[in-house]
Amino acid sequence: MHPALQSIRRRIVLEGPLTVATVMEEALAGRNGYYRDHDPLGPEGDFITAPEVSQMFGELIGLWCVDTWQRLGAPEHFHLVEMGPGRGTLMADALRAARVSAAFLKAKQLHLVEINAALKAKQAERLADHHPTWHESLDGVPAGPMILIANELFDALPIHQLQMTAQGWRERVVALDGEHLQFGLAAPSAALGLLRPAHKQAVDGAIAEVSPASIALVDAIAQRIVTEGGAALIIDYGPAESGLGDSFQALKRHKYHLPLESLGEADLTAHVDFGALAAAAVEAGAQVFGPTAQGDFLRALGIELRANMLAQKADAATGELLHAQVHRLIAPEQMGRLFKVIGLAGPQLDSERLGGLAGL
Ligand SMILES: C[S@@+](CC[C@H](N)C(=O)[O-])C[C@H]1O[C@@H](n2cnc3c(N)ncnc32)[C@H](O)[C@@H]1O
């Protein structure tokens, strides 16, 4: 039995049924969790992310960072922060493209927020020339203006599931039935306080998902850029507006599984509620840009133009590959519509938009 599953079972025996958030936290980021010690990315792993699909993704984000730095008044020193940098692919591609501005490269200090030892080793290899500093959480990043990137981090942050019943909202919990884990219902936790106006329309059986961890993180990011200056770009999959529905899922070897089936051995994710992130950032005083569908964002940054330029210099097979990669990133039935992009900036930013993103 996977050690993460063992510790979840032990906790249920000792503490009683656990919330979905506690199970997710323990299975992913607990001492023996899925994200602690191995590389889950790539064709031989469990899933592929946009920077692993095409180098154009990271390159365009690198140019977005240079443009945003200029809009912020080109501070002489700033922290370039990536949270959950995976194999370091996005940042390596971004910093290569950022060579268009020697001043940007000179001004940046690179910080990586990562909890996975195997991925940290890969990031160290890829990004050695840029002398990164690693942190377990955003709190470790020193004060000062920052530009922060997070691609597919928020979907791994724990969610609570609340279910509407004839008695009102109940918390979805995970209990033991003999040897098997199963869902049950219990009195709602304090997460109830995070329900959004759209959740009020719930009928019997409807599920609402709220993520105190995501709200706390976006609040921390927003507060920092409000007080210290800077901007953030968050990319992930989920709806632009809060809504109802069960999006808790497991991904293993590129296939969806029932979430309680392979705890510790599969990625557990939930859709990111961009409506809730935007509201929390506004409450913290930040300016919000988007959310915008990833396809529209990348198109506005010129991904098709870039692919055409690269294809002109390449052989026919490489040209086809480049166009297939762009299709995967921007087509609505691929990653173009489900994935959203949101930008945050401090009040110091004097601009009606950030690259590819209009003001809220
Ligand atoms: C789905 S991967 C995305 C990787 C990369 N951003 C990409 O697009 O290829 C999630 C990343 O977040 C990291 N991660 C997961 N939970 C985290 C947490 N609580 N704090 C910091 N990093 C975390 C993982 O180790 C991994 O690097």
In a domain, 360, yes or no: no
Residue 5 φ then ψ, to 5°: -65, -40
What is the per-residue pLDDT for 351?
84
- Tokens (6 digits) for 313: 């210099």
Is residue 295 pLDDT above 80, yes or no? yes
Determine the residue of 116, 119, 233, 269 to mutate for testing ligand 1's pocket, defined as the one with the most ligand atoms within 8 A of the Cβ atom. Answer: 116
Band of pLDDT at residue 44, cut at 50, 70 and 90: confident
Closest Cα to atom 4 of ligand 1: 86
In a domain, 132, yes or no: yes
CA–CA dist 135, 115 (Å, integer) = 8
CA–CA dist 33, 116 (Å, integer) = 10
In a domain, 118, yes or no: yes
Q: Which domain holds residue 303?
A: 38-157+230-238+292-349
Residue 155 CA, closest ligand 1 atom number: 1
Q: CB within 6 Å of ligand 1 — which residues?
A: 29, 35, 41, 49, 51-52, 83-86, 90, 113-116, 119, 151-153, 156
Q: pLDDT per residue over 101-155, tens digit each?
A: 999 999 999 999 999 999 999 999 999 999 999 999 999 999 999 999 999 999 9
Which residues contact residue 163 at a Cβ distance below 8 angstroms, ignoring those fewer than 6 apart? Answer: 169, 170, 171, 172, 185, 205, 206, 207, 208
- CA distance to 71, 94, 159, 161, per residue, from 211 (Å): 31, 29, 4, 9
CA–CA dist 146, 296 (Å, integer) = 25
Is residue 360 pLDDT above 80, yes or no? no
Helix then strand then coil, % of the chain, to nearest 5? 45, 25, 30
Determine the 3-state secondary structure of 108 from DSSP.
strand
Amino acid at 173: V
DSSP letter (8 states) at residue 246: -
Is residue 222 pLDDT above 80, yes or no? yes
Separation of CA 151 and ligand 1 centre (Å): 8
In a domain, 30, yes or no: no
Separation of CA 252 and ligand 1 centre (Å): 16
Closest Cα to atom 27 of ligand 1: 86
Band of pLDDT at residue 38, cut at 50, 70 and 90: confident
Determine the residue of 41, 153, 267, 269 to mutate for testing ligand 1's pocket, defined as the one with the most ligand atoms within 8 A of the Cβ atom. Answer: 153
Average pLDDT score over residue span 283-296: 97
Count of domains observed in the chain: 1
- Provide the phi-psi class of 356: left if phi over 0, else alpha when psi is between -120 and 50, else beta: left
Q: pLDDT per residue over 238-280, tens digit each?
A: 999 999 999 999 999 999 999 999 999 999 999 999 999 999 9
In a domain, 163, yes or no: no
Distance of CA 21 to the CA centre of its chain: 16
In a domain, 67, yes or no: yes
What is the per-residue pLDDT for 43?
87
Separation of CA 154 and ligand 1 centre (Å): 8
Cis peptide, bond prior to residue 145, ω within 30 of zero: no
CA–CA dist 343, 169 (Å, integer) = 32
In a domain, 77, yes or no: yes
CB 356 within 8 A of CB 341: yes
- CA distance to 56, 235, 358, per residue, from 305 (Å): 11, 22, 21
In a domain, 29, yes or no: no
What is the per-residue pLDDT for 260?
95
Question: What CATH number corresponds to the domain at position 327?
Answer: 3.40.50.150
